[in-house]
Chains A and B, each alone.
Chain A
Amino acid sequence: MTKTTLDQVLTQRRAANQEIVNVDEPTIKLVIFALAGDWFAFYGERIREIIADATVFFVPGCPSSLEGVINVRGDIESVFRPHDMLHVSDSGAGAKSSILLGRGGGISSGIRVDRVIDVVDLPQSVLQSPPATLPEHMRTLVLGVLRFAERPVAVLDIDRMFGDYANGLG
């Protein structure tokens, strides 16, 4: 029986190491959240803060989707509910609801979500183009889709969302 030499072992190990390709794949940070039973996400760099508990001051004369304003360390920010805009049912602010403080299109605002699922870094390759079957009202708002925890997630365009809301949608 031929004995394996040290040289052979080292050669095998070097060959095995060469097969390991170190790929530095670009990643995206996403803030994934739930509205009713659907999951959505914003790019992480567009969300400045997640506020779990804040007093919302009601301002009259606004659409019902605009909850009011919150005090964020001395500055005030609006808080709106995107449910109507996204055609998902709105059961009001629950115990697990949070406010995502976002910035887009030169506008800053809080966005009420029913639940924050996770803040994750994912490979960019997981993001797919929006499917052709996407409902009409979602087509301009969705940048891409992915699966996370076995659920479909639509990544939303916060610039477009704020712009559309300012123009009376939702």
Chain B
Amino acid sequence: MSEAAEFGLTDDPDGVDDRLDLVLFSAGAWTVGIEAAQVAGAWPATSAMASNCATACALIGLPTAPQDAPQEGKRTGMHLLSLKHPEQDVVVNLPVEFVSVPFRQIHPLPALLAARTRLRGLRAVILPADASDQHVALLFDSGTWA
């Protein structure tokens, strides 16, 4: 199942919902998203290329401890995302997907969570379509990753 399908981000055949275009990718064990408008491009990364770029996990401050790793069996290939502001390349894990997300599925952070999170640029979450999944997609403002 794709990351988009896991979060119920299916096509909107009627086109009735206002939507935000996102790029979803894996960072560590988590599904992470940023606005598509902040991404200039993406391509497969070799180890040599990746070694010269920061990983998304490092930029975000995502923990990689086992207890924070709900997703298993994900593909672990690397991609480079080229960001516009600030202009930099970031190493992310596959899958990398372009999705169009209805506004109603994007939840701003509750006040206490916004106050206490240690993740850089965390702005919102998307809940999984299946409640038994119990992991959220994390949406960031990549402009804070300088």
A interface with B by C-beta (< 8 Å): 55-63, 66, 68-69, 71, 74-78, 80, 106-109, 162, 165-168
Contact = CB atoms under 8 A, between A and B. Distances in A.
A69 B131 contact: no
Contacts of A75: 107
Nearest to A75: B107
Nearest 10 A-B pairs (CB), nearest first?
Answer: A61-B119, A78-B110, A166-B115, A76-B107, A78-B112, A78-B113, A61-B118, A107-B111, A60-B68, A55-B131
Given A77-B110, A78-B110, A107-B111, A58 B125 contact: no
Q: Which of B107, B112, B127, B134 lies at the interface centre, i.e. has the most chain A CB atoms within 10 A of its CB?
A: B112
B39 interface: no
28 contacts: A55-B131, A57-B125, A58-B68, A58-B134, A58-B135, A59-B136, A60-B30, A60-B68, A60-B138, A61-B60, A61-B63, A61-B117, A61-B118, A61-B119, A63-B116, A66-B113, A68-B136, A69-B110, A69-B113, A69-B127, A71-B131, A75-B107, A76-B107, A78-B111, A80-B112, A107-B112, A162-B112, A165-B116
A107 B114 CA distance: 11
Contacts of B115: 165-167
A59 B113 contact: yes
B70 interface: yes
Q: Which of B110, B111, B119, B125 lies at the interface centre, i.e. has the most chain A CB atoms within 10 A of its CB?
A: B110
B122 interface: yes
Contacts of A80: 112
A68 B113 CA distance: 8
B112 A66 contact: yes
A108 to B, nearest CB: 7
Classify chain B: how many residues form its interface, as a range.
Answer: 20 to 34
B112 A76 contact: no
Interface in B95-125: 104, 107, 110-113, 115-119, 122, 125
A80 B117 CA distance: 13
B61 interface: yes
Contact of A55 (B68, B112, B117, B134): B134
B134 A66 contact: no
B36 interface: no
B62 interface: yes
A90 to B, nearest CB: 16
A57 B116 contact: no
Contacts of B117: 59, 61-62
Given A56-B134, A165-B116, A166-B111, 4 more contacts: A55-B132, A59-B138, A78-B110, A80-B112
A57 B107 CA distance: 13
Interface string B53-76: 000000011110000101000000
A99 B5 CA distance: 30
